[in-house]
Amino acid sequence: MEFEFWWLLAFPLFFALGWIAARVDIRQVVTESRALPNSYFRGLNFLLNEQPDKAIEAFLEVVKLEPETIDLHFALGGLFRRRGEFDRAIRMHEHLLEREYPQGHKGLAEEQRLRAMSELGQDYLKAGLLDRAEQVFGKLLETSQHGQARTHLLEIYVQEKDWQKAIDAARLLERDTSKPLNADIAHFYCELALLESAKGNSDAAAAQLQQALAANRQSVRANLMTGDLHAAAGRHEAAIAAWRLVETQSAGHMALVVDRVLGSYRQLGRVGEGVQWLRAFYARQPSHDVFNALYLAVSETEGAAAARQLAREELRRNPSLRTLDRLLEAEIVTADPEQRELLQVEKSLVASYSQRMMRYQCGSCGFKAKQFFWRCPACGRWDSFDPERGEGES
């Protein structure tokens, strides 16, 4: 490409246009900053210095002086809600929706009004005022806020344990957002099955579990509960078949199943076959909880010597307090009276500390519990608990 000398004349023009644009931007920024009260900048300063209480008071002063600062109303309301000051958040958003505007003022724009309604619904939800929250979000279903409204309605139905409404809301939310919720829906059906089972309606419970598996073929909980129904009715062959399907879905969840499987083999008078199956499974999927079940089964069917050998091999391969506890237990059985007393003291200390440390833990929020939960009591996430207990800090 040949160089054109007239380009040299264009360069100063470009620089001049850039300088003018920068001056316009700077003047606009200065003008806008002068229009804001000093309280606004004091509030920002308090926030930067991690003094939220003083920041809130400064921003409230701005709102009083400049009632048109809609975005600041939203920011304050959200800040109140995050701090747990739900009454103040509710008042802030109710004020936006209900306040009277001077004649000739258009009031809130439609999107601002819908946003204020959504924020108010979230205030009610966090404050535990579920009826009010449901009412607000119900009004938003036919608006541009419908996706968020359905999400919050689903949360409300889960908190209220209204599982059929939760199923319906989840299916509509799937349609609106294309986000798969089949795993959650399967849990809702399992909750309905629990209710039917508690009433003694085993057939209705089984039907709900079939719906759970239709929603999510990988529902470990549905197969586990199906096995429980079979076992309660004395159908132990069917129970074992249902429980063993869990391995094809999530081998880790077999830690919740192995004791059930052995129990049904025991009811059938085939404990040896159950132990043989458990040895094979443990070789494929070793874990502390599966080892514990295998140790007890071997001790019952093959004696203390075989159980001790099993514990020694496990302790070498995967050291843990639980394994040491089982080894000491086996050693006590074969020890002479003088050694037995010392071994019992050691076992008591190890068992006490190990039991305090053994916890199920939520992989989402870190909440720890002695029992397994399908839904975390702390953060509300489904399937967030590790099915294998860990020896973390108590």
Fill in the amino acid letter for 300: E
Residue 185's pLDDT is: 97
pLDDT value of position 16: 52
Give the span between the Cα atoms of 270 and 267, in whole angstroms.
Answer: 8
CA distances to 260, 281, 351, 387 from 311, rounded to whole Å, are: 22, 17, 15, 22
pLDDT, residue 179, reads 86
Q: Tell whether 376 is in a known binding site.
A: yes
**CATH superfamily, with its number, for domain 180-247:** Tetratricopeptide repeat domain (1.25.40.10)
Instruction: For residue 211, give both structure tokens.
Output: 């719906």
Please state the CATH superfamily assignment of the domain spanning residues 28-96+113-160 in this structure: Tetratricopeptide repeat domain (1.25.40.10)
Handedness of CA 25, 26, 27, 32 (dihedral sign): positive
* 161 secondary structure, DSSP code: T
Two tokens, residue 89: 């958040």
User: What is the rounded distance in angstroms from the CA atom of residue 370 to the CA atom of residue 381?
Assistant: 18
Round to whole Å and give the CA distance between 37 and 109.
24
Structure confidence by residue, pLDDT tens digits, 52-65: 555 555 555 544 44
pLDDT of residue 19: 45
Distance CA 110, CA 309 (A): 74
Ligand-binding annotation for 190, yes or no, is: no
Q: Phi and psi for 390 in degrees, rounded to 5?
A: -105, 160
Tokens of 217: 């073929």
Find tokens 């199920």 and name the residue. 360
pLDDT of 132-188, one tens digit each?
999 999 999 988 888 899 999 999 999 999 999 999 999 999 988 888 999 999 999
User: Annotated binding residue at 362?
Assistant: yes
**Which one, of 285, 288, 243, lies nearest residue 388 by Cα?**
288
Q: What is the pTM of this model?
A: 0.75
Q: What is the pLDDT of residue 55?
A: 53
Structure tokens at 189: 């059906």
Q: Is the Cβ–Cβ distance between 360 and 372 less than 8 Å?
A: yes
Q: What is the pLDDT of residue 300?
A: 87
Give the model's pLDDT for residue 94: 83
Give the pLDDT confidence score for residue 95 in this predicted structure: 75
Torsion sign, CA atoms 364, 170, 251, 257: positive
| Residue 365 annotated as part of some ligand binding site | yes
Q: What pLDDT score was predicted for residue 76?
A: 74
Closest CA to 390 of 366, 251, 381: 366
Q: Torsion-angle region of residue 360: left (phi > 0), alpha (psi -120 to 50) or beta?
A: beta
Domain boundaries, the chain: 28-96+113-160, 180-247
pLDDT value of residue 99:
63
Give the list of residues 6+ apart from residue 258 with CB closer than 8 angstroms, or none.
278, 281, 289, 290, 293, 294
Which regions of the chain are under pLDDT 50?
1-3, 5-11, 13-14, 17, 19-35, 39-41, 44, 46-48, 62-65, 67, 102-106, 394
Q: What pLDDT is recorded for position 342?
A: 72
d(CA 84, CA 78): 10
Give the pLDDT of residue 147. 86
